[in-house]
Chain A
Amino acid sequence: EPEVTQTPSHQVTQMGQEVILRCVPISNHLYFYWYRQILGQKVEFLVSFYNNEISEKSEIFDDQFSVERPDGSNFTLKIRSTKLEDSAMYFCASSVRLKNIQYFGAGTRLSVL
């Protein structure tokens, strides 16, 4: 069964460093998303991406964040200068169309020290 894959599963970084989280969405899906979940809290929307541009973003997704689809298969989330409060699970999701079911990856745990 097709699935969303994320790498790495765990990323440890020093405060102030840049990190790139990688995702391979399901191959025929056109809409891509990033969500995050701080330990013990709810899943929060960050950004959605379609046709090589951001279609929606939340207040959390500030200038420190960026997304990119560098090739036909990968979808990345970059955090330019990590802060301690960026420590969380980051989930990538994809859907075939607008309003279609979103399928989630297993997540990348980001630990900022």
Chain B
Amino acid sequence: GQQLNQSPQSMFIQEGEDVSMNCTSSSIFNTWLWYKQDPGEGPVLLIALYKAGELTSNGRLTAQFGITRKDSFLNISASIPSDVGIYFCAGQLEAGNMLTFGGGTRLMVKP
């Protein structure tokens, strides 16, 4: 099946720093999504990307759908303690509805 490689696996940063994480795949995806998961909770959608090259912002978060449709990145600017959590990318193929998730990036923010 499809695989999404997400990096880095974890990040430990100082409050106020910017963060960048990305996902790559050998398959072309039609949709890229970024979710955040807090401990004991389900994934919560942050940003959805539908077109190659699309750059979308949601507050301090910015994500881009790669031109090749095989990658995406998420940036968080001026991180705050509540940004702590696990961030997952997810891709959706043109055919079908299932989401394929990356391995997650665990973000830790030091106040």
Contacts and interface: CB of A to CB of B under 8 A. Distances in A.
B90 to A, nearest CB: 8
A76 interface: no
Given A55-B97, A98-B97, A99-B31, A42 B102 contact: yes
Interface residues of B, number: 24
A42 B104 contact: yes
Interface in B1-44: 1, 30-31, 33, 35, 40-44
Nearest to A3: B42
A43 interface: yes
A35 to B, nearest CB: 8
Interface in A23-71: 31, 33, 35, 41-45, 48, 55-56, 58-59
Given A104-B42, A106-B41, A43 B97 contact: no
Contact of A45 (B30, B33, B43, B100): B100
B41 A42 contact: no
A98 B99 CA distance: 12
A75 to B, nearest CB: 15
Contacts, number: 55
A91 B43 contact: yes
B98 A99 contact: no
A106 B98 contact: no
B85 interface: no
A35 B43 CA distance: 11
Contacts of A31: 97
B88 A45 contact: no
Contacts of B97: 31, 33, 48, 55-56, 95, 98-99
Given A4-B42, A55-B97, A99-B97, 14 more contacts: A33-B98, A41-B103, A42-B101, A43-B43, A43-B101, A45-B99, A45-B100, A56-B96, A56-B97, A93-B42, A104-B42, A106-B40, A106-B42, A107-B42
